[in-house]
Amino acid sequence: MADVTIMGAGIFGLALAYVCAKRGAQVHLLDARGLGAGSSGGLVGALAPHVPENWNAKKAFQFDALIKATDFWRVVAACAGVDPGYARLGRVQPVPEGKLELARAREAGANALWQGAAEWRVLRSDSAPGLAIHAPSGWVVHDTLTARLHPRQAGRALFGAFQALGGKFSIGDRPQADVPVVWATGYEGLADLSRDLGVAVGSGVKGQAALLGHAAPDAPQIFADGLHIVPHGDGTIAVGSTSEREFEAPDIVDAQCDALIARARAVCPALAQAPVLERWAGVRPRAGTRAPLLGAWPGKADTFVFNGGFKIGFAMAPVLAELMADLVLEGVDNVPAAFRL
């Protein structure tokens, strides 16, 4: 008999399954399609902070999550014997023309708000670490808070740690009766919740990405005009992603993916001849608030929602999973207002 059933083996479901099992709970994890079958099985894995201005509780919470990520993934890797591909190597961003003053203001903001735990530095582009990038203004921002994670490796690491702690996994979509159930079922789960409540709480946003063959395992990632270029430790570089509210099929790649690749090559000349190893598409769960949704499912006893990771799911999952475990296992509600369902 399980103490808790978790529906969905994406990053939120896996993180919660691991955290609950680590606390000694008997956990049954189910997914109709298997491990990381949705957007959590993607390519990019950028764990990036909000800009250090207009600071609020949500930004502070994410900052905390990014600082804690190093220890979390180290312990997961040791427990599972699987490398999640985590490395806090920072990020380089070209400063747009006319935005140098704003970049310097944010540098001052990071000095005040990040409390010495990380830096946000404005540099001449020719002195930036890592891969050379096209920066028309001649300036870049280099932050040391951003980290990378290999999404598929991270999923396998969490799953391995969960199993090492005695967790049970099944392919299926019917939870065990008479135990608390947490629904972490991605954009389909948001649709189910919306139908049940009679109000739209979120939807799916399709993202396309690509994987290029170029080894730069120790280089910071690059972020340029909404495009992520993320070197992984296995000799690949991921680029992405599109944000498509309207789409016909969730897993079909098209010319928009080719456009991403072309943009990445223009930003980073080292990728000009890098072979394309994979093109990928998936749908990310986006809550109407743009923040993750945590809490009890209204009107349903012992039923909970853990969803809406969208673009920050991998960064936030470890700390949010602790809050969900408090709620589901202990009945303690520590969910911040910004994430409350």
Q: Which residues contact 186 (CB under 8 A, 6 or more apart)?
A: 8, 10, 38, 39, 204, 283, 284, 285, 307
pLDDT the model gives residue 291: 93
d(CA 165, CA 55): 38
Mean pLDDT of the chain, nearest integer: 96
- Write the pLDDT tens digit of every residue in 229-251: 999 999 999 999 999 999 999 99
pLDDT the model gives residue 323: 97
Q: Which of 1-10, 105-114, 128-137, 325-334 has the lowest mean pLDDT?
A: 1-10
Tokens 């340029």 belong to residue = 224
Rounded to an integer, the average pLDDT of 90-101 is 97
Using the predicted structure, report yes or no on whether residue 178 has a pLDDT greater than 80.
yes
Quick one: pLDDT band at residue 1, thresholds 50, 70, 90? low
pLDDT the model gives residue 239: 98
Using the predicted structure, report yes or no on whether residue 252 has a pLDDT greater than 80.
yes
Rounded to an integer, the average pLDDT of 35-57 is 93
pTM of the model: 0.96
pLDDT the model gives residue 119: 95
Q: Which among 93, 30, 72 is positioned nearest to 315, based on CA atoms?
A: 72
